[in-house]
């Protein structure tokens, strides 16, 4: 669950989607990958304190990732805290991330959800691209939408760079990532045209990346029909700009019960199960998991 | 990934080739709002000139796909070709096409035709307790991005009646024989089963009246 901007409700959504999934009988493990600003535990009513966290795993104090997953008040739902360790390091190396991702695949869980940090740094984008389903969260405000596009752009070009091998083409992608580049490559369509001129096989790989990159979109804090339509508009822009099909997974309406539940340190779906916000969270889970 | 100038009219509107007139209309409304000069959705991605170019193509596509005869001719051209010759190579609409609409103008009301029940709407948006009251109808309408005034324009039902239906203001509703017809038309616009919605809504209304005595 990513989105580029902070404060748009990623942790709220992760906590609530996971709670609904756990209550439907799935084994769920959450990973707070926001190492610099972890607070997913608070949304679930868990006190972090000096408890075991991801830092212990990265610093080799714990070898088995499952041992880092602590229980939460919700049966079937465990949490891997992202709290900083004694070294205070928020950055991870590529090797650490690769080791973590291999271990995640072995966790005894039906569903593992990463709550990603704001921004588009390398570790955040790597975790996003590794997921079977990547979610981009935004609110209807221009700032959040701008950051959501920046996030998608970073993820898209990173996936492209790792899929294409020819050095001249990789250099071209690097140039294209700067929107004001001198080659005049403005959009991924322009880039595809430029790649086509260098190497047909690489252009074919480019098209396969386009087909395989299908993130989901959730619009949070929606107040009216116009803002519901924002989700359709964002998917349209992604189609026309990137050439990618985004799935508009759903939206969460603005609901005062949300901040009340955060203040109560309980997931909305448990604290206010009949609220509009809870209804829309359950709808998204139903659509995605068929629960 | 087709450059803008090579996209079919369906690709431009992001509407299915087999789409109903309502789907074409809805796709057009969303596309027009998305690429409007004041749109938040394009900010930071497309420049004003790029949006204007996209809007011109969208108007061109809509002028053809919203006209039954022109659409049939266009579809036939699309089918006849292995390439994409159904797509004009110039930005001029084909002969007989209606002039491009001023983007500031309101779109015409979509034709009043029943939409087939949409399994996705029925499945993911159906009320949890199975009752279609005004609150549920409003939620479904909003989730489809449809304004109440669009339903009023399509069905010719006074918007005040529609508001009363959504607000469960039973005392403000017309007599039952009219209400049932209104509910069925409302349901069709939301791709819901008209009879089921009318039965469910009026049943809930009777229960409420009985409770009040």
HEC per residue, B26-88: HHHHHHHHHCCCCCCCCCCCCCHHHHHHHHHHHHHHHHHHCCHHHHHHHHHHHHHCCCCCCCC
How confident is the prediction for chain A on average, in pLDDT?
90
Task: Give the closest of B1, B3, B45 to A210, CB-based.
Answer: B1
> What is the DSSP pairing of strand A77-80 with strand A69-71?
antiparallel
Is residue B109 included in any domain, yes or no?
A: no
The rounded percent of chain A whose pLDDT value lies above 90 is 56
- Listed in sequence order, the residues at least 6 apart from A279 whose beta carbon sits closer than 8 Å to its beta carbon are B128, B139
Residue contact A228–B143, C-beta within 8 A: yes
Give the pLDDT of residue B213. 67
Residue A90 pLDDT exceeds 70: no
Contact assessment for residue B184 and residue B196, using Cβ atoms and an 8 Å cutoff: no
Q: Is A285 on the interface with B (CB under 8 A)?
A: no
My answer on whether B126 and B206 are in the same domain is: yes
Is residue B110 included in any domain, yes or no?
A: no
Residue contact A232–B141, C-beta within 8 A: no
Nearest residue of B to residue A234, measured between CA atoms: B41
Task: Give the closest of A142, A241, A276 to B40, CB-based.
Answer: A142
d(CA A16, CA A10): 10
In the stretch 35-94 of chain A, residues with CB closer than 8 A to chain B read none
**pLDDT, tens digit (0-9, with 9 covering 90-100), for B69-115:** 999 999 999 988 743 534 443 333 333 333 444 444 434 333 333 33
Which residues sit opposite A222 in a β-bridge? A253
Give the pLDDT of residue A92. 82
The separation between CA A198 and the C-alpha centre of its own chain, rounded to angstroms, equals 33
Task: Give the closest of B1, B31, B44 to A236, CB-based.
Answer: B31
**pLDDT, tens digit (0-9, with 9 covering 90-100), for B129-155:** 778 999 999 988 888 888 888 889 888
> Contacts of residue B4 in chain A, CB cutoff 8 Å?
240
- Domain containing B13 equals 4-80
CA dihedral sign, ordered A62, A64, A66, A67: negative
Across residues A155-184, what is the average pLDDT? 85
Is residue B108 included in any domain, yes or no?
A: no
Q: Is A234 on the interface with B (CB under 8 A)?
A: yes
Total structural domains within chain B: 2
CA dihedral sign, ordered A266, A270, A274, A277: positive
Nearest residue of A to residue B44, measured between CA atoms: A146
Task: Give the closest of B3, B14, B46 to A239, CB-based.
Answer: B14
Q: Is B76 on the interface with A (CB under 8 A)?
A: no
Residue in A139, A151, A212, A240 to test binding to B, most B beta-carbons within 10 Å? A240
Give the pLDDT of residue B67. 95
Give the pLDDT of residue A220. 95
Residue A112 pLDDT exceeds 90: yes
Q: State the fold for domain A10-132+255-289.
A: Rossmann fold (3.40.50)
Contact assessment for residue A140 and residue A230, using Cβ atoms and an 8 Å cutoff: yes
In the sheet with A216-222, reading across from the earlier edge strand, the strands are A135-138, A216-222, A247-253
Residue contact A229–B31, C-beta within 8 A: no
Burial class (CB in 10 A: 0-12, 13-18, 19+), B193: middle
My answer on whether B11 and B69 are in the same domain is: yes
- Can you give the pTM of this predicted structure? 0.80
Task: Give the closest of B30, B54, B125 to A229, CB-based.
Answer: B30
Nearest residue of B to residue A235, measured between CA atoms: B41
Residue in B29, B145, B147, B190 to test binding to A, most A beta-carbons within 10 Å? B145
3-state secondary structure A170-201: HHHHHHHCCCCCCCCCCCHHHHHHHHHHHCHH
Boundary (domain end) residue, out of B21, B52, B80:
B80
Give whole-number Cα distances, B142 to A116, A137, A154, B45, B151, in Å. Answer: 30, 19, 32, 26, 12
Is residue B20 included in any domain, yes or no?
A: yes
Q: How far is A272 from chain B (nearest CA, A)?
A: 16
- Listed in sequence order, the residues at least 6 apart from A167 whose beta carbon sits closer than 8 Å to its beta carbon are none
Q: What is the CATH number of the domain that holds B139?
A: 1.10.260.40
Contact assessment for residue A145 and residue B40, using Cβ atoms and an 8 Å cutoff: yes
d(CA A109, CA A126): 21
Tokens of B108: 């015409």
Residue contact A207–B34, C-beta within 8 A: no
Contact assessment for residue A217 and residue A248, using Cβ atoms and an 8 Å cutoff: yes
Give the pLDDT of residue A84. 59
Please report, for chain A, how many H helices and E strands are present, in that order: 13, 7
Give the pLDDT of residue B121. 42
Is residue B93 included in any domain, yes or no?
A: no
> Contacts of residue A240 in chain B, CB cutoff 8 Å?
4, 46, 54
My answer on whether B76 and B131 are in the same domain is: no
> Contacts of residue B1 in chain A, CB cutoff 8 Å?
188-189, 192, 207, 210, 243
- Listed in sequence order, the residues at least 6 apart from A200 whose beta carbon sits closer than 8 Å to its beta carbon are none
Instruction: Give the three-class secondary structure for B204.
Output: helix
Dihedral class, residue A67 (left if φ above 0, else alpha if ψ from -120 to 50, else beta):
alpha
Residue contact B142–A228, C-beta within 8 A: yes
Task: Give the closest of A233, A276, A283 to B33, CB-based.
Answer: A233
**Can you give the residue ranges of every domain in chain A?**
10-132+255-289
Is residue B45 included in any domain, yes or no?
A: yes
In DSSP notation, A193-227 reads HHHHHH-HHHHHHHHHHHHH---EEEEEEE-SHHH
Give the pLDDT of residue A11. 94
> Which residue reads 């104090």 in tokens?
A61
Nearest residue of A to residue B128, measured between CA atoms: A279
Is residue B101 included in any domain, yes or no?
A: no
Taking one residue from A and the other from B, the number of pairs with CB-CB distance under 8 angstroms is 70
The rounded percent of chain B whose pLDDT value lies above 90 is 46
The separation between CA A171 and the C-alpha centre of its own chain, rounded to angstroms, equals 27
d(CA A25, CA A234): 33
My answer on whether B55 and B124 are in the same domain is: no
In the sheet with A77-80, reading across from the earlier edge strand, the strands are A69-71, A77-80, A28-32, A111-115
Is residue B107 included in any domain, yes or no?
A: no
d(CA A62, CA A84): 15
């Amino acid at each position: 669950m990513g989105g580029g901007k902070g404060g748009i409700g990623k942790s709220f959504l992760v906590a609530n989607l996971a709670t609904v999934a756990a209550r439907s009988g799935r084994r769920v493990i959450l990973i707070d990958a926001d190492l610099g600003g972890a607070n997913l535990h608070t949304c679930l009513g868990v006190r972090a304190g000096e408890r075991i966290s991801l830092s212990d795993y990265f610093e080799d104090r714990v070898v088995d990732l499952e041992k880092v997953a602590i229980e939460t008040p919700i049966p079937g739902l465990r949490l891997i805290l992202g709290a900083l360790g004694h070294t205070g390091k928020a950055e991870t190396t590529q090797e650490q991330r690769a080791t973590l991702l291999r271990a995640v695949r072995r966790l005894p869980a039906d569903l593992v959800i990463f709550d990603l940090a704001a921004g588009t740094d390398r570790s955040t984008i790597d975790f996003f691209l590794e997921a079977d389903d990547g979610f981009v969260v935004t609110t209807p405000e221009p700032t959040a939408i701008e950051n959501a596009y920046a996030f998608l752009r970073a993820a898209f070009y990173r996936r492209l760079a790792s899929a294409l091998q020819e050095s001249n083409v990789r250099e071209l992608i690097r140039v294209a990532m700067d929107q004001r580049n001198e080659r005049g490559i403005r959009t991924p369509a322009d880039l595809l045209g430029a790649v086509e001129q260098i190497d047909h096989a690489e252009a074919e790989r480019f098209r396969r990346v386009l087909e395989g990159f299908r993130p989901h979109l959730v619009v949070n804090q929606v107040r009216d029909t116009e803002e519901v339509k924002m989700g359709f508009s964002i998917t349209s822009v992604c189609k026309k700009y990137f050439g990618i099909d985004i799935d508009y997974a759903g939206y969460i309406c603005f609901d005062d019960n949300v901040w009340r539940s955060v203040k109560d340190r309980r997931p909305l779906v448990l604290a206010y199960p009949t609220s509009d916000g809870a209804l829309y969270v359950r709808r998204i889970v139903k659509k995605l998991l068929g629960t | 990934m087709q450059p803008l100038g090579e996209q079919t009219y369906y690709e431009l509107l992001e509407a299915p080739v087999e789409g109903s007139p309502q789907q074409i209309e809805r796709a057009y409304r969303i596309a027009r709002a998305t690429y409007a000069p004041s749109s938040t959705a394009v900010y930071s991605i497309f420049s004003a000139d790029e949006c204007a170019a996209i809007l011109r193509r969208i108007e061109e596509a809509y002028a053809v796909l919203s006209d039954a005869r022109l659409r049939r001719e266009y579809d036939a051209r699309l089918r006849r070709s292995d390439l994409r010759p159904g797509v004009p190579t110039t930005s001029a609409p084909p002969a007989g096409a209606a002039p491009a609409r001023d983007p500031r103008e309101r779109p015409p009301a979509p034709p009043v035709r029943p939409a087939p029940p949409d399994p996705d709407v029925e499945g993911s948006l159906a009320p949890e307790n199975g009752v279609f009251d005004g609150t549920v109808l409003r939620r479904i309408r909003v989730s489809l991005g449809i304004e109440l005034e669009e339903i009023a324009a399509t069905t010719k039902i006074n918007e005040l009646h529609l508001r009363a239906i959504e607000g469960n203001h039973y005392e403000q509703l017309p007599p039952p024989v009219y209400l049932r017809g209104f509910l069925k038309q409302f349901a069709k616009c939301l791709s819901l089963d008209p009879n089921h919605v009318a039965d469910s809504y009026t049943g809930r209304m009777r229960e409420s009246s009985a409770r009040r005595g």
